A and B are shown apart, each in its own frame.
Chain A
């Protein structure tokens, strides 16, 4: 059988896809070769340093890594934060998810089928507008460290909040033009003009572990295990099985997304639709929350560190993100990160494929790039 090896790039790094088969994909292996060693780097450092280092796992979803870092330390120390801090965190991490989806759709996925520079520039003008909203709260984007155990570092004024709120409304209008509340999207239609909406079906098994924003966990993170592979990334399994995580998994309960799912199951189309539509759901949630901010609450509540362990999950742009930590004398003894791409793009066997492998099998080779990228792969995260 012919083996076709190709490097897939422009996915926040790169992956190597080994495709077995001539025209139709019999089986595909996914390899990541760019290990960076963040977890080792953290060892013996002060636990607070992780708030600066972990965002550098990834330039597009570093803010989720920041939230996860603060939360895992809070989990270890048993810390609570004020409602105000919690809402601000939801706003900035929710906005990060939205900018991620826009970049993924227009900069990563679209060009695999349609080259349209104006779309890219337009989409990046929206994401830089989002970055600006985040920066009002967090100082800058990307790579701020304003979320800390015990709360947030900023101390906003009513004027700041007003500004954020006005900008969120403007953002809502911009997103309406990408996909409206009824799920209509010209750009999505255009993408599927010459494409079958039914290709790229995965395992039809979904998992949600995080409970930030409006997401509800469907599983218990203690059942997650990592497994070594031939390349430098690790597989992530839940109760020894592969599961798909991400926007489709966490929004299946939504009536509109559910109806698309009923028509096309877990195909590329459903996956893309869920990701785009999620932007509305997140925006609605944070617009609703922003009015609940009580400016008189503290941004930060002090605490006492102790020797302890923590493990948490949050929903990041691409799905469930797990951080775990062991702290002794305020130093990090162990740190472990499991990213969504490890779940979706595990590299396993033909008999027991991962979601992305299952989606590739039996499809035309010419769609391999598209199917692969519809999972919103993050290579840098995967090889942290």
Chain B
């Protein structure tokens, strides 16, 4: 039998949310790995050592201490001693709120860009636990993980978070949610939902197996994207009333034509509340 892959998980500048997110799946599969270090789970004492898989959670930043080392030096040492590096979470992939990512710094090149071939990027704030589960198991079984141009596994990031949202019908017919707290309407036009142009599979591989932000009435904030968090996250940026960002892969002309047509043809069924309350009925009857 092959020996277990050595796994070292280090937290850089983070909120530990990616770890806590990871805790939401059955962790018994970790028995197939030798856990050298984890910032929260019990593991051996920390030391700089080689690993088969290094997971970096959190951003890098100068003048930051971690475990008695300068963070940048620490990450560099661990990085070069690792066979494969997983940048876990938007912090580690692009920098996020707290600093710079490994391979990328927002939309430009990051400190480890030159060595990007050994890095697998799993953005997300937090990263979805099943995405990491997938990557770890593929690595363990020596299977090829197809990556896109930003080193993300295509199996996860070729989707948009819009795909599979329960509000898709409202998007199709351009029925926009006009206020928060309603299960009807799409959040794209007024509330800043970034679903149609965010690479992620949140509405396919659901969160905690049950839900997603847009399903729960919260716009997608594009937390898997390089510029997360952008400004005005609950408002759609528009130019003369036209969304500044349109669905991925479509020309502006095509999108405007299509949405103009959809808007002109009202779908009666979608303009009403799905479930009426007894009170509401009574109020109307009176």
Contact = CB atoms under 8 A, between A and B. Distances in A.
A155 B215 CA distance: 9
B217 A299 contact: yes
Contact of A157 (B65, B208, B229, B275): B275
B interface residue count range (under 10 / 10 to 19 / 20 to 34 / 35 or more): 35 or more
B216 A144 contact: yes
A302 B179 contact: yes
B180 A150 contact: yes
Contacts of A49: 229, 231-234
Contact of A145 (B96, B218, B279): B218
Interface string B115-131: 00000000001100000
Contacts of A60: 16, 20
B229 A145 contact: no
A153 B19 CA distance: 26
A143 B25 contact: no
B42 A296 contact: no
A98 interface: no
A327 interface: no
Chain B interface mostly helix, strand, loop or mixed? Answer: loop
Given A10-B39, A12-B40, A58-B15, A135 B231 contact: no
A289 B233 CA distance: 32
Interface stretch (A120-128, A197-205, A341-349): A120-128
A369 interface: no
A256 B280 CA distance: 46
Chain A interface mostly helix, strand, loop or mixed? Answer: mixed
Contacts of B278: 296
Contacts of A52: 221, 229, 233
Contacts of A210: none
B209 A138 contact: no
A155 B231 contact: no
B17 A132 contact: no
Interface stretch (A31-39, A178-186, A215-223): A31-39
Nearest to B180: A300
Contacts, number: 191
B49 interface: no
Given A59-B18, A380-B16, A152 B181 contact: yes
Interface in A131-156: 131-132, 134-146, 148, 150-155
Interface residues of A, number: 68
Interface in B211-247: 211-218, 221, 223, 229, 231-235
A7 interface: yes
A295 B274 CA distance: 14
Interface in A346-371: none
24 contacts: A7-B67, A9-B46, A10-B40, A10-B42, A33-B65, A48-B235, A49-B231, A49-B233, A53-B97, A53-B229, A56-B15, A56-B125, A62-B15, A115-B42, A139-B212, A141-B24, A146-B218, A152-B181, A153-B181, A155-B182, A155-B217, A157-B183, A299-B182, A380-B14
Interface of B: 11, 13-21, 23-28, 39-42, 46, 64-68, 96-98, 125-126, 179-184, 202, 207-218, 221, 223, 229, 231-235, 275, 277-280
Interface of A: 7, 9-10, 12-14, 33-34, 36, 38, 41, 45-46, 48-49, 51-53, 55-60, 62, 85, 103, 107-108, 111, 115, 117, 120-121, 124-125, 127-128, 131-132, 134-146, 148, 150-155, 157, 295-296, 298-300, 302, 380
